[in-house]
Structures are given as structure tokens and as C-alpha cells.
Structure 1
Amino acid sequence: MTEVLVVAGPAAAGEYVADILARAIQTDPETVLGLATGSTPLPIYAALAERVRTEGIDVSSVSGFALDEYVGIDPAHEQSYHHVIDAEVTQTLGLNPERVHVPSGNPDTLESAGAAYEEAIRAAGGVGWQILGIGANGHIGFNEPGSPIDSLTRQVPLTEQTRQDNARFFDSIDDVPRHAITQGVGTILRAGHLFLLAFGEHKADAVARAINGPVSPEIPASAIQQHPNVTVLLDAAAASGLDAAEYTVVTGTPAGV
């Protein structure tokens, strides 16, 4: 079932998801989180870190699996997702670095990196809670339009639009990698619960097509329709392509948490 909630903005969405994740970790100290990068999930990490600090939540046994990584980038590079996840998630939440995983973008090991990452996720018991953003073209992770719905972790080429969108993080477009390794759509669908967040009018069309359009590789995020446990959190602008009857406006925190 896809639950669509409209909240006041990114901070409210972060508080909402953090409440749920905090209770999940307290219930199961070995909770496995699916980690997204970019600006969209940052309010979740900030709000969850505050709960960990103020409520004394033990996160020493929590595991995390990042969605993706650039191919051919030094893990120490400030724009590598190894670096970003370490700075924005591992250190922020106080996770054990040995339990936080990012797929390897090493060109020398790409042939086996996807299968190795899939096995690591399986060995951890699978992702319990997957955080997702959505691209304006409907991508999730680095699964660009055309990605098979049953795809697994693999190397993918990045579209020019995605490279342009990410160029703001680099010195120039020429520095943006042309390939990435990403969890597949099928990998993402194996998680126990999906949180998909989107903010801004530029995401409205992709959101509407993901929720209401046909399930299609051309809109990879449309695959969420096949998952039994999905929570979509939007601001009013991102929800502008939906009918009011299709979502619930939320002004507080989740009931019972």
C-alpha cells in the first residue's frame, strides 16, 4: 500500500521519518537502514541524530547500506558517497563504521562488485527501512529511465541530465563521473518499508507518474506501486500533480510513535 502524506516541508518530513526510525531501532537494535545521499534525506539524519542524543538510543548494532556510488572516484574525494555517507550519516548518527556499507566504484572490481553488495545486504538480513529521493526524470538511486524493474546492483551510465544536476557539487561538469554503481530497482523493492521524499514543484510530474502512472522502466520510481509498504512524503509543491483525495495532509507526528 502506498501512503501519501503532505507535510509542511523538508524539516517536517525529517521529523516524521526520524520518529518512526527511532522507535524501530529501539525495538530492534540490529535495524538495517537503506541510506540515500543528496539534500533530500538530510533532515531525516539530523532529526534522528537528535533523538539518538536526547533519548540515549543505542545505535551500535545498526547497519546501513547506501544506494549508490560513482564509478572511478576516489573514496576519499569529498563528493564520493563513501565520504558523504561517512560525514552525513555515520558520524552524525554515531554508527559503527564497520556496519555502514557503500558499493565499490573501483573500476578494477566492478565485475563482481554488484553481486558482492547484494550478498552483503542478504547477510545483514535485508534492508528494513529504505530512504529514497526521486529525480525529476523519475529515477531512484541511479536507476535512470529504462532501468528494468527487476534489476539488481550493477554499473549504470548516468544521463546528461543527472550529470548536469550533480555538477553543482563539482568544479565543473567535466569532473562529474559518467558511470555509477547502484542498487537496482529490484534490490530496492526487497526492503521492508520504503520512504520516498520529494520537495518542490519540479518534482511534481515525476511524483504523479510514480504514484498514478503505469509501472514502467521509463519511470523507475513507479515500481513503488508493487511494494506493500510505502510512505511518500511531499510538500505541497511536489504534491501539486495529485488530486487532493490522493493524499493526507499531516501536521503532527505519526500516531503511536
Structure 2
Amino acid sequence: MKVLIHQTPERAVRCVADILVKRLDLQPDTVLGLATGGTMEAVYARLIKAYRGGHVSFDRARSFNLDEYIGLPPDHPCSYWRYMEDRLFDHVDFGAGATCLPRGDAADPEAEAAAYERAIARSGDIGLQLLGLGANGHIGFNEPSSSLSSLTRIKTLTRSTRAANARFFDDPDDVPRLAITMGIGTILRAEEIVLLGFGEGKAEAAAAMIEGPVSASCPASALQLHDKVTVVLDQAAASRLKLREYYELVHPGGGDAVITPFQPAA
């Protein structure tokens, strides 16, 4: 697991956006796994800016989002379909039909979840998966106690997750209790994973994810099992890491590792 610690949230966001731009430059037909929530808004704003500046194109890429609330149609103002359209899809050049989210208003949510899992597998799985980090350690809507080998399915949201997302709804009681989410096993099949977290509110979860035991009590800790994960944090989110000095030694300033060949004494 590569841990990059930046001085500010803005630098952390720029780092993540640059990773996405570089991936699309090297592999324009990448299958992207996308995330929602407040953490991602600044990332998508930078991607839009990069696209408008001619630095990136999405015209050969495909995307699958992590999750969607059950019961919300795509045109609902709080659906993740709407979130993605407003914050990214309507502003860049994804091809028609290239962006996928589960249907929250499907008549049979279990069948919808299974169909979504099959669609991801048929695409060749995710090339680059973008993740945020819940304060309770969730990734996607894989709440604590989730199976570490789980596939796309229905999950009941915790009170803390619903409370964290209540700011997007007019009435906190309107936050759905259920969602369709990619499973942890689905996420771990991705070729590459990039997780962004910033702020003191993510510090405990970041420490459990990076340095704690692999456990269903912190679903994000399952990322320790993946061979190509980059975790991008700001100073506040990194504040509870016991090995922080080492991460900053390996990746000073959140940059690439400094590898200096050994020079024997004369």
C-alpha cells in the first residue's frame, strides 16, 4: 500500500486527479470505478478543468459507479445518477452509454445488483477504482461487518452513514436506509485502486485501514490485501498514523519514492 501524505486537502485532491489523468493518457479505454460524496466534488472539478484544457479525454473510457440508493430514480435530485451528471458526466466527453450506475428504482433490487455485478465482470473488471473513506471505515456502502469477499448486493446503511449524507437531503429522514453497492470482493478485483481522504474526521478510519488488522470492523482494511493501492491523505487525515514518519520518508511531500543507489565508501 502506497501512502502519500500532502500538506493540504487541495494538494491531495490534485494528486488524485493527476493519477486519473495519467491513467487515461496511458490507457484511454480504461474502465473507471467512480465514487460520490463530498470528498469527490473537488476531484471531479479538477478533471473537468483538465478536460477543458485539453489535458484529458474520456471518449474511450467506461465507468461504473460504486453504489446507488434504493428507491431513488435517476432523476431524483439526491440520486447518485444526478450527482454524477451534475458534477462530471455533463461536462466531459464520455461516449453514449459508457457510464453505468445501478438503478435505485429497479422493481427487483436484488436482480439489479446481480446484473450490475455481471456487467462489471463482462467489462473485464475495473481498471482504476476511485474510493473515498467513510468515517466508520466503509468503502462504497460496505458498512462494518461486510464480508471481505462480498459482491455487488443490497446493504442496510448505518445511522452514522445516513447522518453523514443527510446534508444532501432536505429532510434527514428522507435519506434511504438501503443501497445497492459494489462488494469488497468486486472492488478488490480492480487492477488499481486510489483512495482519497482528508480532514480530522477521517483520521481514525485511515489509521485502521492502513495499520490496523484486516477486519470486517473496518471494511477499508481489506485494501491491505491488494497489490496496487495508493492512499492519498492530507495532514489531518494522517494525524493518527503510527508509522507516519516512515511514509513521509519514503514519499516526501506526497511525491514518488526517492530511490538513491547505494554508494560504498571509498
User: What TM bracket, shorter-length normalisation?
Assistant: over 0.9
Give the match's secondary structure for 1:95: coil
Q: C-alpha displacement at 1:42, in angstroms?
A: 2.0
Indicate if the aligned counterparts of 1:4 and 1:246 stay in contact, CA closer than 8 A: no
Measure, in 2, the Cα distance between the counterparts of 1:18 and 1:235: 15
Asked if 1 retains the 8 angstrom alpha-carbon contact of 2:35 and 2:66, the reply is yes
Code of the aligned partner of 2:10: A
Q: CA deviation at 1:14?
A: 2.3
Partner of 1:190: 189
1:158 maps to what in 2?
157
CA 114–246 in structure 1, closer or farther in 2 if over 3 Å, else same? farther
Which 10-residue stretch deviates more, 9-18 or 192-201?
A: 9-18
Cα distance in 2, alignment partners of residues 28 and 198 from structure 1: 25
Distance in 1, matches of 2:24 and 2:77, equals: 29
The corresponding residue for 1:103 is 102
The change in CA–CA distance for 1:246 and 1:69 in structure 2 (over 3 A counts) is: farther
Displacement, 1:132?
0.7
1:10–1:40 contact (8 Å) kept in structure 2? no
Q: Distance in 1 between matches of 2:9 and 2:97?
A: 29
Structure 2, unpaired ranges of 5+: 258-266
Structure-1 separation of matches of 2:214 and 2:222: 6
- Decide which moves more: 141-150 or 191-200: 191-200
Cα shift readout 1:179-227 (whole Å, capped 9, x = no counterpart): 0000001111111111111111111111101111111111100000000
Q: Distance in 2 between matches of 1:252 and 1:110?
A: 41
Take 1:240 and 1:133, find their aligned partners in 2: how far apart are those partners?
17
Provide the secondary structure at the position in 2 that maps to 1:111. Answer: helix
Aligned residues: 254
Identity rate, percent: 48
Q: Which runs of 4+ in 1 moved over 3 A?
A: 249-255
RMSD: 1.7
The corresponding residue for 1:245 is 245
Question: Unpaired runs of 5+ in structure 1?
Answer: none
Distance 1:251 1:47, change over 3 A: farther
- The answer to whether the Cα contact below 8 Å between 1:20 and 1:254 also exists between their aligned partners in 2 is no
Partner of 1:3: 2
> In structure 2, what residue type is equivalent to 1:18?
A
Alpha-carbon offset, residue 11 of structure 1? 2.1
Matched residue, 1:113: 112
The answer (yes or no) to whether the contact 1:196–1:232 under 8 Å persists in 2 is yes
Match in the other structure for 1:36: 35
Residue in 2 that maps onto 1:230: 229
Q: Give the CA deviation at 1:53.
A: 2.2
**Native 8 Å contact 1:29 1:58 kept in 2:** yes
Question: How far 1:60 sits from its partner (Å)?
Answer: 1.1
2: CA distance, partners of 1:100 / 1:198: 24
Corresponding position: 1:133 with 2:132: yes
Shift of 1:251: 4.0
Structure 1 contact 36–132 (Cα < 8 Å) conserved:
yes
Displacement after TM superposition at 1:167 (Å): 1.0
Q: State the Cα distance separating 1:253 from its structure 2 match.
A: 6.2
